[in-house]
Amino acid sequence: MANVMIIDDDVDMVEMYQAILKQKGHEIMIAYTAEEARETLATKRPDIVVLDVMMETVDAGFELGREIHTKFPDLPILFLSSIINEIDERTGIPNIFEVDDSWLKLIRFLDKPVKAEKLSAEIDKLLA
């Protein structure tokens, strides 16, 4: 199975994801902040990253995702956020995250909280 890095500041979510993924046979690496993730990634490379968008700041996950993509261009990233389907109050238009074309084969966005089956299925897709 794969080495999955979970980066999320929500301890309860991390524990849930970890339990789900360990049950599927994955090895798990955990970081609760972007800085902790940077330190781990300086010496280790996972097979896939599960990354929360909003951590220390509203876009900390995006910033970290771009850094990870620059360092490991072929590393799949699964972004998780509770704001993906929210409506932008200023425009009345749903939030749409602009993604660099080079990312398209390597990322997915899932709405939090994500069901166990969906998380596992998306990880399998990205690793295929």
Tell me, what's the pLDDT at 98? 52
Task: Answer whether the bond into residue 94 is a cis peptide, omega within 30°.
Answer: no
Q: Does position 113 have pLDDT exceeding 90, yes or no? A: no
Tell me, what's the pLDDT at 116? 80
Tell me, what's the pLDDT at 94? 43
- The maximal CA–CA distance of the chain, rounded, in angstroms, is 44
Q: Give me the mean pLDDT over the 47-57 stretch.
A: 87
Return the higher-pLDDT residue of 57 and 8.
Answer: 8
Q: Give me the mean pLDDT over the 84-98 stretch.
A: 46
Return the higher-pLDDT residue of 108 and 49.
Answer: 49
Cβ contacts of 88 within 8 Å, gap of 6 or more: 94, 95
Spell out the domains of the chain, with CATH numbers in brackets. 3-127 (3.40.50.2300)
Residue pair 106/77 in contact by the 8 Å Cβ criterion = yes
Tell me, what's the pLDDT at 107? 66
Q: Does position 81 have pLDDT exceeding 50, yes or no? A: yes
Residue 95 dihedral angles phi and psi, to the nearest 5° = -65, 130
